[in-house]
A = this chain, B = another copy of it.
Amino acid sequence: MSEILINTKVLVKNDEIADSNRKILKDRGIFTINLMSSPGSGKTSIVEKTIELLKGKVNVAVIEGDVQTDLDTQRILKYGIPATQINTGRSCHLDARMIQHTLPWLFGQGEVDLMIIENVGNMVCPAGYDLGEDVKVAVMSVTEGDDKPLKYPALFSASQYLLINKIDLLAYTNFNMERARHNALTINPKLKIIVTSCTNGTGIKEWVESILKDKFL
């Protein structure tokens, strides 16, 4: 059997499980976000800031995807939020089956309104794997360069949101915001772009309000 044929079969199977996950989560009223980016773009910090803003208003649970370690889960658990780790080992992305296996844990955590899945830090692989989420969110930081949407188009075309993060570092880079927006919108004209910083708080409120609007509308 050729590699391509196997890949297609894997993706078809993944999509079936993802659709099942989506139905189960929807039936329970759980809105799910899949956060994807390079390593070190600030995904975990965005999860932390989101939790801070929603605390006492919305019940959040977090799934942390990583090749190894539970460092990010430990960061989230400090907020008193249910969080669990999926270690993917040699795999460069989460898949729908991994999320399916995590659902029994999730349903044991009391009432959950919003589940945030932080994918493995990787701009290539995660984009191809539907997990059953409601919204896919790409994160890129200004220190990574404004050419990234052109170089890694799959992530940007699969996502509904783009958070351009670490805006506090803009002055120290040659990142061109106008060019970045243009590149991202060339790949995906429907992308909702929000500029953020977890250091000075820029855009976090706007981001959280957008997500809540998506959930409750």
Please list the residues of chain A having a beta carbon within 8 angstroms of any beta carbon in chain B: 1, 3, 6-7, 10, 38-41, 66-69, 71-72, 90, 92, 120-125, 128, 140-141, 143-145, 147-148, 150-154, 166, 168-169, 172-173
Tell me, in angstroms, the Cα distance from A99 to B146 when the chains sit together: 28
The smallest beta-carbon distance between A130 and chain B, in angstroms, is 15
Contact A68 B151 (CB under 8 A): yes
The 5 closest A-B pairs by CB, nearest first: A40-B144, A92-B124, A143-B143, A38-B38, A38-B39
Q: Give CA–CA (A140, B150) in the complex, Å.
A: 21
Complex CA gap A3/B3 in Å reads 10
- Chain B residue contacts of A150, Cβ below 8 A: 68-69, 71
Number of copies of this chain in the oligomer?
A: 2
Residues of B within 8 A of A92 (CB): 92, 122, 124-125
Closest to A72 in B: B151
Determine the chain B residues whose CB is within 8 A of the CB of A38 once the complex forms: 38-40, 121, 123, 144
- Docked pose: A67 CA to B120 CA in angstroms: 18
Interchain CB contact under 8 A, B71 and A121: no
Given contacts A38-B38, A68-B153, 20 further A-B contacts (CB under 8 A): A1-B1, A38-B40, A39-B123, A39-B151, A39-B152, A40-B140, A40-B141, A66-B151, A67-B152, A67-B153, A69-B147, A69-B150, A71-B150, A72-B151, A121-B151, A121-B152, A125-B125, A143-B166, A168-B172, A172-B172
Among A120, A144, A169: residue with most chain B CB under 10 A: A144
